[in-house]
Amino acid sequence: MRQINSKFRGVCKVCGNHVAQGERVWWERGQGVWHLNCSPESHVSSFYEEQEHQREQSRLSAELERGKRDVEEWREMRQLFGGDVAEAMYIQSQYDEDYY
């Protein structure tokens, strides 16, 4: 790894921002370039943190969609059968999901 003046415009492999032609950067053969104030080690941890964040967002989004479906189903049952029957059917469906 060494410092060079960038011969071409490019993208920092750590932060993803642009690298201007002639800008002083770190360079490593086969790895690309990154800004002098960007740390490749921090990129690794931030990459995994971002991946974990994306997984958590996907999980929460799926949970939200399930909740929306549950509410819509309960409303339909309440409209068809009345509140008490709809509540009993909802509780039974939750029991069935947990049991199986």
Please count the helices (runs of H) and the strands (runs of E) in the chain: 2, 5
Residues 75-94 pLDDT 10s: 888 888 888 888 888 888 87
Q: What pLDDT, on a 0 to 100 scale, did the predictor assign at position 83? A: 80
Q: Which amino acid is at 3?
A: Q
Burial (CB count within 10 angstroms: exposed 0-12, middle 13-18, buried 19+), residue 56? exposed
How far is residue 42 CA from its own chain's centroid? 18
SS3 state of residue 2: strand
Q: Where are the domains of the chain?
A: 2-38, 42-99
Residues 18-48 pLDDT 10s: 999 999 998 888 888 889 888 766 555 566 7
Residues 57-66 pLDDT 10s: 999 999 999 9
